[in-house]
Amino acid sequence: NTNSDSEVLLNVLAHELEHINGKKELTSASIFQAVSQVHKRCQGAYAVLVLIAGAGLLAFRDPYGIRPLIVGRQVSSAGVAYMVASESVALDIAGFELMRDVAPGEAVLITPKGELLAQQCAQSPKKYPCIFEFVYLARPDSVMDGISVYEARLRMGRSLGEKIKTLIQGVTIDVVIPIPDTSRPIALQLASILGVPYREGFIKNRYIGRTFIMPGQAMRKKSVKQKLNAIGLEFKDKNVLLVDDSIVRGTTSREIVQMARDQGAKSVYFASAAPPVRYPNVYGIDMPSRRELLATGRTDEEIAREIGATAVFYQDVEDLIQAVQEGAQLDGVDASCFNGQYITGHITPEWLEALEMNSEPRSQSGSQMDLNFQREENG
């Protein structure tokens, strides 16, 4: 009886370890076998770190590699140390060298003796990382699945800039301003493509967290005003193009557009580095139901009116996928919140409707990470 999918996953793993090993001393073989059973019983997105008494640190990743997981190493006079994290930047800060990504479906066990053991535990693993990691979640100085987040965002800015260039012929844009921090490299490249000055128009309060995952509309709206403060001289009497990573509910976008107008902007255009978010993300991001998504059932013109912008420009799905995949060795990406194609295959419109009907109000519940638990009868 829990709202935490992590607790469910832990219990599935513990059940499999007990079933396979009984009361005998754990071995790496039995641990890897238990992870294989977890993959068979659980569908969804997960990157897991578990400390097992007497056995070591276990790390494993879902068979589609939806969530990132990497291994680093540090060599010193005391010996070799290993570190596992979601992003390479965590290794950099701690002084560890990036070794490699944990492969989709793979399990890595670091023993108390300092050995690193690895085994593929999924039958048919594929690499489909979540594209929203590169759009929004990851730090720009991270490298995941061999992809530089910074370079991917520059490519997003390039493709979005080329699209906007064809749409604004005859329209004057005086300045391009990013919504800090994620969209900075995107806006920088976009401004270069358009041949328009790039300026910092908002100062961010770093003590306010990410607003779109905050519970409750009132809290999100209040937090936007606490999080950002406008530099008036960058807006007054100018035609401004604001650049953000995405538009989800529209709360942040609406408040930011109004801030720009309050500072005297003549017109406010809004560019999103991501395509319209039309579907919920069920793979670990607390994204709203379809009813809460601003793009649901609305055209670009209607969305612009909703947030108070002169016009809205969205990235195309194909261009975003290309920006992330370029030069990478992937089987594809999970872009389900943009195209409705859920790669685990068990997500249907009826399933989503049931999830929305049965979910607690988001002001009271935690994340809506998707983990379908397949109960096995052992008898």
Quick check: 9 and 371 in contact, CB under 8 A? Answer: yes
The correct CATH number of 133-208+220-356 out of 3.40.50.2020, 3.40.640.10, 3.40.50.720, 3.30.43.10 is 3.40.50.2020
d(CA 307, CA 137): 23
Q: What is the pLDDT of residues 15-29, one digit of tens each?
A: 999 999 888 889 999
- As a whole number, mean pLDDT of residues 71-76 equals 97
- As a whole number, mean pLDDT of residues 235-239 equals 98
Tokens linked to 368:
């809506």
Judged by average pLDDT, the poorest of 78-87, 191-200, 222-231, 360-369 is 360-369
Per-residue confidence band for 322, with pLDDT thresholds at 50, 70 and 90:
very high
Q: What is the pLDDT of residues 173-193, one digit of tens each?
A: 999 999 999 999 999 999 999
Q: What is the pLDDT of residues 202-236, one digit of tens each?
A: 999 876 655 554 555 555 555 666 789 999 999 99
pLDDT in the model for residue 357: 80
Report CA-CA distances (Å) from 153 to 131, 138, 185.
11, 11, 6
At residue 145, does pLDDT exceed 90? yes
Judged by average pLDDT, the poorest of 38-47, 61-70, 162-171, 218-227 is 218-227
d(CA 64, CA 246): 24
pLDDT in the model for residue 359: 65
DSSP 232: G
- As a whole number, mean pLDDT of residues 48-53 equals 95
Burial of 244-273, coded b for 16+ CB within 10 Å and e otherwise, reads bbbbbbbbbbbbbbbbbbebebebbbbbbb
- Which part of the chain is CATH 3.40.50.2020? 133-208+220-356
d(CA 362, CA 219): 12
Give the β-pairing of 239-244 and 175-178: parallel
As a whole number of angstroms, the longest Cα–Cα distance in the chain is: 76
At residue 6, does pLDDT exceed 80? yes
DSSP 26: P
d(CA 16, CA 14): 5
pLDDT in the model for residue 366: 37
Per-residue confidence band for 355, with pLDDT thresholds at 50, 70 and 90:
confident
pLDDT in the model for residue 328: 95
